[in-house]
Amino acid sequence: MTSVTPFRRLELLAVVTLATLLAWKGIWVGWHTLGTDFPQYYVVARLMARHFCLDRIYDWVWLQRAADHAGVTHQLVGFSGLTPFSALPITPLIWLPVLAAKRVWIMLNLGLLVILIHLLRKHTGLPLLRTWLIGLLAAIPLRTSFAFGQMHLVVCALLIAAWCLHLRGRQLASGCCIAIAGALKIYPLFYCLYFLMKRRWRALAAVVLLSVVCLMLCYAIFGRPAVSAYLAEQLPRTLQGEGNNPFLASATSASAMFHRLFLIEPELNPHPLVSSVWLYATLYPLWQASLAALVLPGIRPGPQSRDRETLEWCAFLTLLLFLSSAPASYHFVTLIAAAGPTYAFFWRKQRLAGAAFLLVYVVACNAWNIVIPNPFSPGNTVTLVPKLWAGVGLIFVYAWLLLLKTRDDAMQGARAFPPPSNPGEPPSQKTRPYSIAVVIIAAIWLGGFLSTRHHLRSISNDNSRKLVMTDHAWLRGTPRATSAGLYYLAMLDTGYRVMRDGTPIDASVSVDELSFAVDREGRELWVEFADPNGSHITRATQAGAAFGRCVINDAESPALAADGSALAFIRENRGHGSLWIISTQSCGPAGPGAVRVTPESMDVRAINSSPEGKFIVSAITAHGASVFNVSPTGVMERLLQSPTQLGSSEISADGNHLLVSQLIANRWQLAIIDLLRHSRRQITFSDCNSQSPVWKDSRTILYATDCERGNGLNTLARIRWEE
């Protein structure tokens, strides 16, 4: 009977302890709470199955309204930066309530975890207990993935399957796994570069062709506007590190680190170490290029030994994870796919080095960021990122293995593929890695420098326009200047609230307030509340003192006529909006007297009041995007027509100028239309979004901007305009 060694007992204890922590902190928490990620996939999949118009799934407020209507209450929802395809795996679960659907998803992910551990054990030759230990050492990524109901275990399983198929020479199947993983999360698509360098043409073709199929499938299911919005508006901002708050202290990406060091944002990062766009634009691309140059020259074209193929694959995956512009903790679940095969290599050849590798891997997966006082300015703080530096350590380990220590005669394992007809390496290849490194550094650095400079070219102007706010909101929008103060909508930790000068108008409200209308004096207020029964607009007077005097059901996005006699609002049918107008004097519990103004063919998107008692309506018609001036009786006059999308609009007090937000070069910009001279003047130009503009006075414009913030996570700003 074989005796159990003390080391094996310790290993078993570690596996049991880590599994218990995962069950307690991850699975148990995820089983009983929604978390922040699963609901967003669920809501978008639900909208898709019910044939909604999906071109606004990246609009934070619009998607929150859909979530509230779907019963996802007391939970902030946003789809920013996610591919439309990533909602498809949740589609079979949308017929269940959201928490029940998440529980099924957790069970499926548990099955995936067992499968990927089995694949690793089978293809690495490691003992089963050791394989489980390596997987469970990614404790925080696994815990977060289960607690939030994330998609990264699916991606990890696909990457492991792709590696296994790659070693067996099944290029088409390996490429298909990469393509599906890339459709869920973009970064696996960079394996196209790996296949290109390895001259794996069939794998590369499989990735490209299946990716095109996935893209066409998304066009067919989600519609061209939604897919175009992702490709042209979401993806570039995500690659720039602005999918969410780019200064977030808990973010471990190099993008966030360099943002905190060199870029200023009045609220999110008021005191960088050195405020310099030039330093950021120079050093961040150089960082990316240098790390890439450590790994890519070590990837040899053509078939190599099994060990070398494995190390090259794992090195490239680790490089992708730590070059990512905005990784969250659960992203590092996929580091299991690199750690298992790499440790197996060390285990066969040098076990002490393998133990050291596992230690760095544990830090790279689980370390927390450290916030300390800035030594150069006592009132400031900087954030240390041990996770990121551990990742850099892993990259150096792979560079050491591939470029300095690993030779073909030191890796005598079976070849992953049939040997090439000429296995000898030409003498010229001895210097090729160094020339490749130079080309990589030059190309990545120059391209990154130019694109970053273009993106940040007017950051100082944008920051100088922002209003100083102290409400700790994630998002602010739809500003309205009144005699009683500044009203706006804010996303707080507790949900969406209508604010006045930084304070909620009613702190006792427990459901989301997603839009509002207020008169110029601030005496009459109408607020949209959203819950599982739909949206309804409630009238309040004296800035919120008497909610419930009038309720209009199935209504959202109100606008109050300048004289207070009429209220316009939107009713949605599967994402298509129609304009309705009701007299404020005849308002009743069921909204009697409300009259539909727009035809079925018109999709109304935004409403504002006009100084002459009319409403300014932005809509999509058969002829493109348009802005109309609509009277309380329903008479419509077209003011503007555009081939590109138009957002919220407002007319000046003298009636001569139309202020409009317009999608220009895939970014929302502000423009002023002279209605007398029929001329147009653009007034914002940055590579970010400016929306919800209103006139504060004849020369001052208030608006919402996400410049140097997360995509769509606006704050308020003002700009002076001279005719």
Q: Exposure of 266 by Cβ count < 10 A (0-12 exposed, 13-18 middle, 19+ buried)?
A: middle
| Percent of the residues in the chain that have a pLDDT greater than 70, as a whole number | 91
Task: Tell me how far apart the alpha carbons of residues 384 and 393 are, in angstroms, rounded to a whole number.
Answer: 15
Task: Tell me how far apart the alpha carbons of residues 308 and 653 are, in angstroms, rounded to a whole number.
Answer: 71
Per residue in 211-266, pLDDT (tens digit) is 999 999 999 999 999 999 999 999 999 999 898 899 988 888 899 999 999 999 99
Cβ–Cβ under 8 Å, residues 663 and 648? no
Cβ–Cβ under 8 Å, residues 184 and 139? no
DSSP string of 228-239, one letter each residue? HHIIIIIHHHHH
Integer-rounded Cα radius of gyration of the chain: 28
Cβ–Cβ under 8 Å, residues 640 and 646? yes
Task: Tell me how far apart the alpha carbons of residues 664 and 687 are, in angstroms, rounded to a whole number.
Answer: 10
Centre a 10 Å sphere on the Cβ of residue 699 and count the other Cβ atoms it contains.
12
Backbone angles phi, psi at 597, to 5 degrees: -105, -40
Per residue in 344-402, pLDDT (tens digit) is 999 988 888 889 999 999 999 998 888 777 655 555 667 788 899 999 999 999 999 98
pLDDT at position 588, please?
56
Query: In this model, does residue 721 exceed pLDDT 90?
Result: no
Query: In this model, does residue 11 exceed pLDDT 70?
Result: yes
Map tokens 């030594």 to a residue. 375
| Contact partners, residue 92, CB within 8 Å, separation at least 6 | none
Q: Exposure of 196 by Cβ count < 10 A (0-12 exposed, 13-18 middle, 19+ buried)?
A: middle
Mean pLDDT in the chain? 89
Average pLDDT over residues 68-81: 91
Alpha helices for 584-630 (secondary structure H)? none
Query: In this model, does residue 514 exceed pLDDT 80?
Result: yes
Average pLDDT over residues 275-279: 91
Task: Tell me how far apart the alpha carbons of residues 23 and 29 are, in angstroms, rounded to a whole number.
Answer: 8
Average pLDDT over residues 329-355: 91
Strand partners of residue 453: none
Task: Tell me how far apart the alpha carbons of residues 465 and 456 are, in angstroms, rounded to a whole number.
Answer: 15
pLDDT at position 440, please?
73
> How confident is residue 456, by pLDDT bands cut at 50, 70 and 90?
confident
Closest listed residue to residue 317, CA positions, set 95, 163, 90: 163
Task: Tell me how far apart the alpha carbons of residues 528 and 607 are, in angstroms, rounded to a whole number.
Answer: 14
Structure tokens at 435: 């020339």
Query: What pTM, to 2 d.p., does this model score?
Result: 0.92
Per residue in 90-106, pLDDT (tens digit) is 999 999 999 999 999 99
pLDDT at position 414, please?
43
Task: Tell me how far apart the alpha carbons of residues 569 and 514 are, in angstroms, rounded to a whole number.
Answer: 13
Helix axis angle, 191-198 relative to 201-222, nearest 10°? 150
Per residue in 173-211, pLDDT (tens digit) is 999 999 999 999 999 999 999 999 898 999 999 999 999
Per residue in 617-662, pLDDT (tens digit) is 999 998 899 999 999 888 999 999 999 999 999 999 988 999 999 9
State the pairing for strand pair 595-596/603-609. unpaired
pLDDT at position 563, please?
87
**Dihedral of the alpha carbons of 181, 182, 184, 186, in degrees to the nearest 10:** 140
> How confident is residue 703, by pLDDT bands cut at 50, 70 and 90?
very high
pLDDT at position 155, please?
96
Cβ–Cβ under 8 Å, residues 269 and 369? no
Query: In this model, does residue 600 exceed pLDDT 50?
Result: yes
State the pairing for strand pair 495-500/475-482. unpaired
Sign of the four-CA dihedral 291, 297, 303, 306: negative
> How confident is residue 542, by pLDDT bands cut at 50, 70 and 90?
low
Task: Tell me how far apart the alpha carbons of residues 400 and 387 are, in angstroms, rounded to a whole number.
Answer: 20
Task: Tell me how far apart the alpha carbons of residues 314 and 167 are, in angstroms, rounded to a whole number.
Answer: 12
pLDDT at position 428, please?
42
Domains and CATH numbers, the chain: 10-232 (no CATH), 240-330+354-411+432-457 (no CATH), 460-720 (2.120.10.30)
Centre a 10 Å sphere on the Cβ of residue 446 and count the other Cβ atoms it contains.
12
Burial 496-528 (b: 16+ CB within 10 A, else e): bbbbbebebbeeebeebbbbbbbbbebebbbbb
Query: In this model, does residue 1 exceed pLDDT 60?
Result: no
Give how far Cα 600 sits from Cα of 470, 577, 596, Å: 43, 9, 10
Q: Compare 506 and 19 and report the one with higher pLDDT.
A: 19
User: What secondary structure letter does DSSP report for 466?
Assistant: B
Task: Tell me how far apart the alpha carbons of residues 501 and 522 are, in angstroms, rounded to a whole number.
Answer: 12
Backbone angles phi, psi at 301, to 5 degrees: -70, 155
Task: Tell me how far apart the alpha carbons of residues 51 and 345 are, in angstroms, rounded to a whole number.
Answer: 50
Task: Tell me how far apart the alpha carbons of residues 192 and 194 are, in angstroms, rounded to a whole number.
Answer: 5
> How confident is residue 31, by pLDDT bands cut at 50, 70 and 90?
very high
Per residue in 393-433, pLDDT (tens digit) is 999 999 999 876 555 444 444 444 444 444 444 444 444 55
Rounded to the nearest 5 percent, the helix, strand and coil shares of the chain are: 45, 20, 35
| Percent of the residues in the chain that have a pLDDT greater than 90, as a whole number | 68
Cβ–Cβ under 8 Å, residues 273 and 382? yes
Per residue in 543-593, pLDDT (tens digit) is 544 555 688 999 999 999 988 889 999 999 999 999 999 988 877 554 457
